[in-house]
Amino acid sequence: MSIAMPLPDAEVLAGRDGFIAALSRVVPGEGVIADEKGLRTYECDGLAAYRALPLAVVLPETVEQVAAVMALAGTHKVKVVPRGSGTGLSGGALPLTDGIVLGLGKFNRILEIDYANRCVTVQPGVSNLAISQAVSAAGFYYAPDPSSQIACSIGGNVAENSGGVHCLKYGVTTNNLLGLEIVLMSGEVIRLGGKQFDSDGYDLLGILTGSEGLLGVVTEVTVRILPKPSSVQALLLGFADVVDAGDCVARIIAAGIIPAGLEMMDKPAVKAAEDYCHAGYPLDVEALLICELDGPAAEVSELVDRVEAIARESSATVLRRSQSEEERQRFWLGRKSAFPAVGRISPDYYCIDGTIPRGQLAHVLARMRELSAEYGLGVVNVFHAGDGNLHPLILYDAAREGDLEKTEGLAGAILRLCVEVGGVLSGEHGIGIEKRDLMGAMFTEDDLKQQQRIKCAFDPAGLLNPGKVFPVLHRCAELGAMHVHHGKVPFPDLPRF
C-alpha cells in the first residue's frame, strides 16, 4: 500500500469492547456489526486495492440514532467514516482501523414527491436511479446519472458531487440539489436549503456537496426533478484521427450546440466494447464520438442535421444517426459497458478521472500514449468529451509483483499532466485517498490549509473521515494561529488616495 493512513489511536483500539457496548445501546439489535466476518463486507469501497477492517460498523435507522452515534464517537475520540452504497472509486469510504463505519443503507425511503414544486425529498441511502424511477410515470426524472446509478446512493452522490453523461447540459449534483439535512460530528442536526431555488446565508449546501464525507453526515436530501425531454436522438461518429474528433467536439460547442451527451472512446476502448457486447461499432476508427441531442422533436432533428454537417467538416469517416430508440440504446450499449469490457481484456484495470480543457485533448492523448509505453502498461480511454472529463483505464495485473505500484505511478503521471494543461485531478470521482497525495500538484500549502479550516468549522476534533482528501493533517489549533508582524511599513508599494 503506497498511501499511508493516519496511525491508529492506541487508546481507542484498547477501548474497543466498551465502545461497542455503548454503541449497541444507541443502535440496538442488529444495528452494530463487530465480528470479523461481518466487518469484511465493509473493508473497502469501489477502490478495492485498499482495504482495512473498521473497529465496528453501525447501521442506524433514524436521524436521532445518527446524532447519538456521532456524539458518542466524539466523546470517545472514535473516528467516523460515513458510507452509502460503497460504490465510490476514490476510497472515500475506506475504513479506518480505529474508527467506525457509519452505513446509511437503512435510510432507504423516498419521503416526499412534490410535483408542484418539482422536487423529491429522500433519505440518503436511496439509489440515484430509484429517484428517476419514482417520478418517471409522471414524466419527470433526476438529471445527474453516474454510470453506477443502479447502485450508488444519493447521499454518496452529494458527497462526491457526482456527474454522469448528461451533465454538460443538465449540471452535476450541486446544480440539482435544493436541500440537505446533515448531522455534525457533535451530534448537532443542521438543515440547509429547502424547496426554494436559493438558500440563504453562506452557501453551506455548496460546500457540503463534494466534501467527501469530511464535513457532516447527510441524513436527508431534496433534489430538483426535470420534465423528461420529448425527443432524444443520438449520432455515432467515427474519425480516422483523434485530432479530428477533438476538433469536431470544439466545433459543435462553438456552433452554440450543447448536446445532452457527448462521449468519446479511443480505438482500444472501441475494440474492447465491440468484442464484449457487439454494439455494431466500426473497428477501423481511431476515435468514436457518441453525440446525443434531446428536446422538442423539431429541435432535435434540426440539431442532428447540424451536428452531422459539422462532423463532415471535421472529416468524420463514419456517420450514423439513430433511427429508433432501440438503435439509440445500441449506440450507448458499448459506451456503457466499456468498463466491464475492459475488465475482460485485462486481469485488472484502474480507472482515473481527470478533467482537462477540451482543446488539450489531442495533446493529452498523445502524451498519454508516450507515458503508457514508458510504464509498459496499456491505457484505454473513455472520455466525457463534452465537459473534458477523462476516464483513462490503466490495464494491469494485481497478481504480478510491482504492477499496482507501477499503475499508481502512471495514474499519478497522467493526473499531473491534466493539471499541467490547465485541468484538475478529479471530475466526478473525488479525491478520497486515491488522489490525496497529488493535491499538492494543484494547490499550494496555503490553499489546502484554508480548505482544512472549513473542516475545522464543522469538525474541530478532526474525527469525521480523516486521512482522506488532504495529504497533510493539521490540527485545528495550529490552523487557527495567525502570524502577524506589527510595526512594519504596511504595504510600501500600494498607492494611497
Window 180 to 209, contacts with another protein (CB under 8 A): 184, 188-192, 194-198, 200-204, 206-207, 209
Minimum gap (Å) between residue 382 Cβ and another protein: 15
Candidates 31-39, 99-107, 116-124, 369-377: pick the segment binding another protein (CB under 8 A): 116-124
Q: Which is nearer to another protein, 10 or 482 (CB)?
A: 482
Which listed residue (240, 253, 318, 362) binds another protein by CB under 8 A? 253
The interface mask with another protein, positions 254-293, x = CB under 8 A, is x-xxx-----------------------------------
Which listed residue (320, 358, 367, 406) binds another protein by CB under 8 A? 358
Instruction: Please report, as a single letter, which amino acid is at residue 70.
Output: M
The DSSP output letter for 5 is P
Q: Between residue 391 and residue 430, which ones bind another protein under the rule CB under 8 A?
A: 422-430
- Which distant-in-sequence residues (6+ apart) come within 8 Å of 59 by Cβ? 27, 30, 31, 32, 33, 103, 105, 106
Question: In the sheet that 119-122 helps form, which strands lie side by side, from edge to edge?
Answer: 110-114, 119-122, 217-224, 177-183, 189-193
Determine, following the binding rule CB under 8 A, whether residue 29 of this chain makes contact with another protein. Answer: no
Minimum gap (Å) between residue 32 Cβ and another protein: 28
Which listed residue (1, 18, 115, 370) binds another protein by CB under 8 A? 115
Instruction: For residue 227, count other CB atoms closer than 10 A to its CB.
Output: 11
Question: In the sheet that 99-103 helps form, which strands lie side by side, from edge to edge?
Answer: 32-33, 56-58, 99-103, 79-83
Which listed residue (77, 118, 367, 369) binds another protein by CB under 8 A? 118
Determine, following the binding rule CB under 8 A, whether residue 479 of this chain makes contact with another protein. Answer: yes
Which listed residue (16, 51, 76, 228) binds another protein by CB under 8 A? 228
Residue with cell 502524451: 367
Q: Between residue 52 and residue 81, which ones bind another protein under the rule CB under 8 A?
A: none
- Asked whether the CA dihedral 485, 487, 488, 491 is positive or negative, the reply is positive
Minimum gap (Å) between residue 10 Cβ and another protein: 30
The interface mask with another protein, positions 141-160, x = CB under 8 A, is -------------------x
Q: What angle do CA 323, 327, 331 make, to 5 degrees?
A: 120
Which listed residue (110, 277, 456, 461) binds another protein by CB under 8 A? 456
Q: Which residue, among 141, 295, 165, 167, has the nearest Cα to 229 in the 3D structure? A: 295
Q: Which is nearer to another protein, 52 or 168 (CB)?
A: 168
Q: Between residue 369 and residue 388, which ones bind another protein under the rule CB under 8 A?
A: 384, 387-388
Q: Which helix (H) or strand (E) holds 288?
A: strand 287-295
Strands (E) located in 1-139: 32-33, 56-58, 79-83, 99-103, 110-114, 119-122
Q: Which is nearer to another protein, 253 or 319 (CB)?
A: 253
Which listed residue (18, 28, 38, 227) binds another protein by CB under 8 A? 227
Which listed residue (282, 443, 461, 471) binds another protein by CB under 8 A? 443
C-alpha–C-alpha distance, residues 479 and 485, integer Å: 17
Candidates 36-44, 62-70, 165-173, 392-400: pick the segment binding another protein (CB under 8 A): 165-173
Determine, following the binding rule CB under 8 A, whether residue 163 of this chain makes contact with another protein. Answer: yes
Q: Quick one: 497 exposed, middle or buried, by C-beta within 10 A (0-12, 13-18, 19+)?
A: exposed
C-alpha–C-alpha distance, residues 92 and 46, integer Å: 9
